[in-house]
């Protein structure tokens, strides 16, 4: 169980937010043991006083920002620092809590304020924060110096895991040479990937809200629980408002059920003329001295799974969507609003109604857009590349469980999130699935498999079977004619054994944009088209039975480690990395709009 909530920082009449995005001072610790920063306590003084610094944008991966190949491929600690003036009113008002929050940093982070350590956090993709009120009050005349050291080393204890391999043969490798082995297929981007900010709350504050929704006939039911910190008793007022700001239900207890007459349900994109309907739940709590207001968007919907169907609001939902990555030129995995909005426009243009957050939790800002636009999400944790590590042991599993705790804590209230994925192609699943089900009884749980249906250890425990397959690509390369028989067999075997609905969670082929051949050959746009179409023919036979979705691998080309099977990254995108369509994008567009009309 985690300590406290992790509500997304929002401004309100009682809360202020100050973004610290922009240019930070930066230095990679290139010393042989990567430990000079700690030995010389770089956090104690300004970073520029302990050695050379460069300017580094936040949020962004640092890898592609400079012309230096050692920084692109750097493994170890990097140091970020910036100074900020904290508004005097925040400091002088003893009733104000000031919290420093990092949206995500990749992977291990330690944070100091004015040379004093305030927190550390293991793992990327998820937020962490520290209250720094007393620290900034100690010397209110000084600007506040924030130092963040981030280490991207992956080991058997991290998620995703990796190994460090030292090459000690001095006839073949330079002194100190080592490599970071990874077991996943995307570039190991690092740095501060999401916004860093300061925000305030009053001393007595709304710490967490849990919302579960349901409906009966025309009445929506919002079961909620509010936790308040900082006072034994506080008066609470919970108001649910519709889009026009009209109160539709209210209460004054910390937990309860709000009843909404003539409910407007949250519907997926293309399933309803008004998708993504959100109410606002205003939680207002006060004591004689403090008042705090936090407003949470709430979508009222249900999710259920039968033997053959996935139901949203009791209606069959067919996933026609994409797998994504947080990935783009220059900024790597750094949050970028222009990219986010462009991607949503492309998703809608495609007629896609869903995506899977392969292979890690995406920014909350993205999930909020999904809530608003009705894009359905399979929310995946960073459990990727764990099958290939034979010695994958308990220490990693216990960290994996904590990551699931943090993921559910962060994303539990998003109506767009309809299912948790505990891992991609893992080796040991059962504990994770049970743990996640205990954390959230309202959502189905899955993991993504590519293993043999007969040997699979996790399938008996999941609600939905998610299968990746690459027929006529990794298997029988160049032989498109195997797809009908192999894909049919795949579906029949999995369904036959487990009697659970199936999502084709990955399928696809690399295509270099502009490369053409007819008859099709691998890596041409024609081959990608032909492969997708063969898959689609089988989907169409099975989708009326128990196949409940298809997610193309991948929405866009993305960067990977250098390898002989990757030509500047993975090219299975239907869009290029710059988000221009390949021929396959038009095939999927036609198909998805047809599916939307048939099933929507």
Token pair 């100074």 in the structure block, residue: 83
Query: What is the number of other CB atoms lying within 10 angstroms of the CB of residue 395?
Result: 11
Give the one residue of 131, 291, 450, 492 binding ligand GCB; rule: CB under 6 A.
450
Q: Which is nearer to ligand GCB, 188 or 468 (CB)?
A: 468
Name the minimum Å distance from CB 183 to ligand GCB: 10
Size of the site for ligand GCB (CB under 6 A): 11
Q: Cβ(268)–Cβ(315) under 8 Å?
A: no
- Of the candidates 425, 429, 525, 550, the residue annotated as catalytic is 425
By CB under 6 A, tell whether 151 contacts ligand GCB.
no
Give the C-alpha separation, 199 to 294, whole Å: 13
Q: Which is nearer to ligand GCB, 436 or 449 (CB)?
A: 449
Fill in the per-residue mask, 339 to 378: x = in contact with ligand GCB (CB under 6 A), - = not in contact.
--------------------x-------------------
Q: ω into residue 453 within 30 of 0, thus cis?
A: no
Q: Cβ(381)–Cβ(403) under 8 Å?
A: yes
Instruction: Supply angle C-alpha 424, 429, 430, rounded to 5.
Output: 155
Give the C-alpha separation, 208 to 227, whole Å: 5
Q: Which is nearer to ligand GCB, 102 or 556 (CB)?
A: 556
Name the minimum Å distance from CB 426 to ligand GCB: 11
Residue closest to ligand GCB when measured from CB atoms: 185
Q: Which is nearer to ligand GCB, 475 or 479 (CB)?
A: 475
Name the minimum Å distance from CB 155 to ligand GCB: 20
Q: Which is nearer to ligand GCB, 209 or 532 (CB)?
A: 532
Give the one residue of 64, 129, 411, 506 binding ligand GCB; rule: CB under 6 A.
506
171 alpha-carbon distance from chain centroid: 43
By CB under 6 A, tell whether 550 contacts ligand GCB.
no
**Nearest of 135, 64, 66 to residue 98 by alpha carbon:** 135
Q: Are strands 196-202 and 17-19 parallel, antiparallel or unpaired?
A: antiparallel
Give the one residue of 423, 520, 570, 577 binding ligand GCB; rule: CB under 6 A.
570
By CB under 6 A, tell whether 63 contacts ligand GCB.
no
By CB under 6 A, tell whether 468 contacts ligand GCB.
yes
Name the minimum Å distance from CB 531 to ligand GCB: 12
Q: Token pair of 242, please?
A: 């519709």
By CB under 6 A, tell whether 73 contacts ligand GCB.
no
By CB under 6 A, tell whether 572 contacts ligand GCB.
yes
Name the minimum Å distance from CB 558 to ligand GCB: 8
Residues 275-314 that bind ligand GCB (CB under 6 A): none
The backbone torsions φ and ψ at residue 29, rounded to the nearest 5 degrees and listed phi first, read: -85, 95
Q: Which is nearer to ligand GCB, 14 or 354 (CB)?
A: 354
Name the minimum Å distance from CB 185 to ligand GCB: 3
By CB under 6 A, tell whether 380 contacts ligand GCB.
no
Name the minimum Å distance from CB 473 to ligand GCB: 8
User: 56-68: b or e for each residue (b if 16 or more CB lie within 10 Å)?
Assistant: bbbbbbbbbbeee
137 alpha-carbon distance from chain centroid: 35
425 is catalytic: yes
55 burial class (0-12, 13-18, 19+ CB within 10 angstroms)?
exposed
- DSSP secondary structure of 33-92: TS-HHHHTTGGGS-GGGSS--EEEEESS-STTTSS-HHHHT--SEEEEEEEEPPPHHHHH
Q: Strand order of the sheet with strand 303-305?
A: 303-305, 310-312, 315-316
The backbone torsions φ and ψ at residue 385, rounded to the nearest 5 degrees and listed phi first, read: 75, 25
By CB under 6 A, tell whether 456 contacts ligand GCB.
no
Name the minimum Å distance from CB 559 to ligand GCB: 11
**Nearest of 254, 351, 311, 266 to residue 464 by alpha carbon:** 311
Name the minimum Å distance from CB 494 to ligand GCB: 16
By CB under 6 A, tell whether 93 contacts ligand GCB.
no
351 Rama class: left (phi>0) / alpha (psi -120 to 50) / beta: left
Q: Which is nearer to ligand GCB, 38 or 183 (CB)?
A: 183
By CB under 6 A, tell whether 553 contacts ligand GCB.
yes
Q: Which is nearer to ligand GCB, 58 or 384 (CB)?
A: 384
**Nearest of 201, 230, 231 to residue 12 by alpha carbon:** 201
231 burial class (0-12, 13-18, 19+ CB within 10 angstroms)?
middle
Q: Cβ(524)–Cβ(488) under 8 Å?
A: no
Residues 231-260 that bind ligand GCB (CB under 6 A): none
Give the one residue of 147, 424, 449, 534 binding ligand GCB; rule: CB under 6 A.
424
By CB under 6 A, tell whether 185 contacts ligand GCB.
yes
3-state secondary structure 312-348: ECCEECCEEEEECCCCECCCECCCCHHHHHHHHHHHH
By CB under 6 A, tell whether 429 contacts ligand GCB.
no
Task: Give me the active site residues, please.
Answer: 425
Q: Which residues bind ligand GCB (CB under 6 A)?
A: 184-185, 359, 424-425, 450, 468, 506, 553, 570, 572
């Amino acid at each position: 169980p985690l300590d406290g909530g992790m509500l997304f920082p929002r401004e309100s009449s009682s809360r202020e937010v100050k973004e610290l995005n922009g240019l930070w001072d930066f230095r990679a610790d290139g010393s042989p043991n990567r430990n000079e920063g700690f030995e010389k306590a770089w956090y104690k003084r300004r970073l520029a006083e302990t050695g050379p610094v460069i300017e580094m944008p936040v949020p962004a991966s640092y890898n592609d920002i400079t012309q230096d190949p050692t920084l692109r491929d750097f493994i170890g600690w990097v140091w970020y620092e910036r100074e900020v003036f904290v508004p005097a009113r925040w400091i002088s008002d003893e009733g104000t809590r000031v919290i420093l929050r990092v949206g995500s940093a990749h992977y291990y982070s330690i944070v100091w304020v004015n040379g004093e350590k305030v927190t550390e956090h293991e793992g990327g993709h998820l937020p962490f924060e520290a209250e720094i009120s007393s620290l900034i009050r100690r010397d209110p005349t000084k600007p506040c110096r924030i130092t963040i050291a981030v280490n991207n080393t992956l080991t058997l204890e991290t998620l995703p895991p990796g190994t460090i391999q030292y090459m000690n043969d001095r006839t073949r490798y330079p002194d100190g040479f080592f490599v970071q082995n990874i077991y996943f297929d995307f570039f190991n981007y690092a740095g501060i990937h999401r916004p860093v900010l300061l925000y305030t709350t009053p001393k007595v504050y709304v710490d967490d809200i849990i919302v579960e929704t349901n409906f009966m006939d025309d009445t929506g039911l919002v079961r909620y629980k509010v936790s308040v910190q900082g006072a034994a008793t506080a008066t609470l007022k919970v108001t649910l408002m519709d889009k026009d700001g009209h109160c539709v239900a209210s209460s004054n207890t910390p937990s309860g059920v709000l009843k909404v007459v003539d409910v407007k349900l949250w519907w997926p994109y293309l399933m309803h003329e008004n998708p993504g309907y959100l109410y606002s739940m205003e939680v207002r709590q006060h004591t004689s001295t403090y008042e705090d207001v936090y407003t949470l968007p709430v979508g009222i919907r249900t999710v259920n799974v039968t033997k053959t169907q996935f139901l949203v609001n009791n209606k069959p939902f067919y996933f026609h969507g994409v797998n994504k990555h947080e990935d783009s030129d220059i900024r790597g995995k750094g949050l970028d609003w222009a990219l986010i909005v462009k991607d949503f426009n492309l998703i809608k243009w495609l007629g896609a109604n869903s995506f899977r957050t392969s292979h890690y939790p995406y920014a909350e800002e993205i999930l909020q857009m999904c809530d608003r636009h009705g894009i359905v999400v399979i929310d995946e944790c960073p459990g990727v590349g764990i099958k290939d590590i034979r010695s994958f042991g308990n220490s990693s599993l216990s960290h994996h469980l904590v990551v699931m705790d943090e993921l559910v804590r962060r994303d539990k209230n998003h109506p767009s999130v309809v299912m948790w994925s505990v891992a991609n192609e893992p080796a040991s699943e059962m504990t994770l699935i049970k743990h996640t089900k205990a954390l959230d009884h309202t959502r189905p749980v899955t993991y993504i498999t590519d293993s043999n249906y007969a040997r699979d250890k996790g399938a008996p425990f999941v609600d939905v079977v998610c299968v990746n397959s690459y027929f006529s690509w990794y298997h029988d390369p160049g032989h498109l004619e195997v797809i009908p028989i192999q894909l049919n067999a795949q579906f029949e075997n999995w369904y036959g054994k487990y009697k659970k609905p199936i999502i084709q969670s990955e399928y696809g082929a690399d295509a270099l944009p502009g490369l053409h051949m007819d008859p099709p050959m691998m890596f041409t746009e024609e081959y990608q088209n032909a492969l997708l179409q063969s898959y689609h023919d089988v989907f169409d036979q099975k989708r009326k039975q128990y196949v409940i979705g298809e997610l193309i691998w991948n929405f866009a080309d993305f960067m990977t480690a250098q390898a002989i099977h990757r030509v500047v990254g993975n090219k299975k995108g239907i869009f290029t990395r710059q988000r221009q369509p390949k021929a396959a994008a038009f095939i999927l567009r036609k198909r998805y709009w047809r599916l939307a009309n048939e099933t929507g």
